[in-house]
């Protein structure tokens, strides 16, 4: 098998919702949404809600654990233009360390929670998040913050 055609990887706490499933998917020309998240892979209700959004966009959607993503993504067809969506930086780091060929990482939405500080209006990070993102960038991934496609990309080194 060849290398999977991952057109973009995005961190979004909400995973697939209107902005991801419609705006981003059409903007980057993806035809498959791949949600790599252990909890969602085991939650039929979350899958049903996200599948409805994908259906609206006319794209396929899969829900895989991180491990299944690592072991299976290399079998993707060249026709599949994959939009990989994950919940947090630590999950992306797991995928990168597992050999998933991520070239670009869009940080889109990381909600506020205790101990996190504001990076942008929609991105909050703690030291663990920052360390994971720096390690991902050090592995050669282009890491940037961008809420919607028409926003200017903010390189990681400019925001943390």
Catalytic residue ranges: 17
Cβ contacts of 48 within 8 Å, gap of 6 or more: none
Between CA 111 and CA 149 the distance in angstroms is 19
CA dihedral (148, 90, 87, 115) positive or negative: negative
């Amino acid at each position: 098998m060849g290398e999977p055609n991952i057109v973009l990887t995005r961190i979004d706490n909400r995973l697939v919702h209107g902005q991801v499933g419609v705006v981003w998917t059409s903007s980057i020309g993806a035809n498959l949404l791949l949600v790599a998240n252990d909890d969602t892979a085991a939650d039929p209700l979350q899958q049903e809600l996200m599948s409805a959004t994908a259906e609206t966009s006319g794209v396929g959607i899969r829900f895989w654990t991180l491990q299944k993503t690592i072991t299976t993504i290399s079998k993707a067809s060249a026709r599949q233009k994959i939009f990989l969506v994950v919940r947090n930086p630590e999950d992306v780091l797991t995928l990168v360390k597992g050999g998933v060929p991520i070239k670009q990482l869009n940080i889109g939405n990381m909600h506020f929670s205790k101990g996190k500080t504001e990076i942008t209006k929609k991105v909050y990070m703690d030291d663990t998040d920052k360390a994971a993102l720096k390690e991902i960038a050090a592995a050669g991934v282009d890491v940037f913050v961008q809420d919607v496609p028409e926003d200017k990309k903010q390189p990681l080194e400019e925001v943390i």
